[in-house]
Amino acid sequence: MSETIFSKIIRKELPATIVHEDELTLAFHDINPQAPVHILIIPKKPIPTLADVEEDDLHLVTHIHKVAQHLAKALGLEGWKMQVNVGAKGGQEVFHLHYHLLGW
């Protein structure tokens, strides 16, 4: 997988407003929010798209969903949704798997 802006954020080479970090994931505020709360949740493992997730990666997908639940509760969100864009035609701009947590 080629270098992405998210790879640089993971390595702390670029700034981000990080709201969660653990051994598997990183979550930070989107710089172009589409909702009152807009957080990106990414695996630290470089996976280009959701279509590239393999069986060995399924624990990462589950973990990302648990992180989203935790963040939604911690932020007191009354409603929220998760969005994943897959491929350029699906609206994906950065080819490192990422989930958009959008909340109100």
Residues labelled catalytic: 98
Does 25 score more than 80 pLDDT?
A: yes
Residue 8 has what pLDDT?
98
Superfamily in which the 5-103 domain is placed by CATH: HIT-like (3.30.428.10)
CB under 8 A, 24+ apart: contacts of 15-21? 19/71, 20/67, 20/70, 20/71
pTM of full prediction above 0.75:
yes
CA distance 11 to 50: 22
Segment 96-103 mean pLDDT: 98
CA distance 69 to 74: 9
* Confidence at 1, pLDDT banded by 50, 70, 90: low
